[in-house]
């Protein structure tokens, strides 16, 4: 597993009660998968919350047009997502290197 996942797992284990090494080794694969699924679910819920918030904000504007929507999407693509994409690619490169 990538170093970031191993680090999260070791800190999680330290916060839980101490178990035997054999038990830890046997459960590592499943624990890592569970942790990743949990993180993906949290991220998915966060995205859904943002989408719902955006929809609610759009509905408050009486004269919100598709042109306005397109302009907002273009702005987010050009300025908002690019920085997140760069950060993601950097973290992905670090994980691949480990």
Q: 76: which DSSP letter?
A: I
Q: What is the pTM of this model?
A: 0.54
pLDDT one digit per residue (tens) for the chain, 98 residues? 677 777 777 776 666 555 555 555 557 778 778 888 888 899 899 989 988 998 888 888 878 888 988 998 888 888 877 777 777 777 777 766 65
Could you tell me which residues come within 8 angstroms of residue 69 by beta carbon, excluding any fewer than 6 positions away?
Answer: 58
Could you tell me which residues come within 8 angstroms of residue 35 by beta carbon, excluding any fewer than 6 positions away?
Answer: 5, 8, 9, 12
**Residue 51 C-alpha from the chain's centroid:** 15
* pLDDT score of 13: 64
* pLDDT score of 46: 92
Q: 63: which DSSP letter?
A: T
Q: 62: which DSSP letter?
A: T
* pLDDT score of 41: 92
Q: Which of 95, 93, 86 is nearest to 1 (CA)?
A: 95
* pLDDT score of 54: 84
3-state secondary structure of 17: coil
């Amino acid at each position: 597993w990538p170093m970031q996942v191993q680090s999260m797992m070791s800190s999680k284990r330290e916060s839980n009660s101490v178990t035997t090494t054999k038990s830890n080794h046997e459960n590592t694969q499943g624990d890592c998968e569970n942790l990743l699924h949990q993180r993906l679910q949290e991220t998915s819920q966060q995205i859904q919350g943002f989408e719902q918030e955006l929809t609610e904000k759009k509905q408050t504007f009486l004269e919100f047009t598709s042109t306005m929507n397109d302009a907002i999407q273009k702005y987010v693509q050009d300025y908002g997502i690019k920085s997140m994409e760069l950060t993601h690619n950097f973290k992905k490169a670090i994980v691949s290197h480990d």
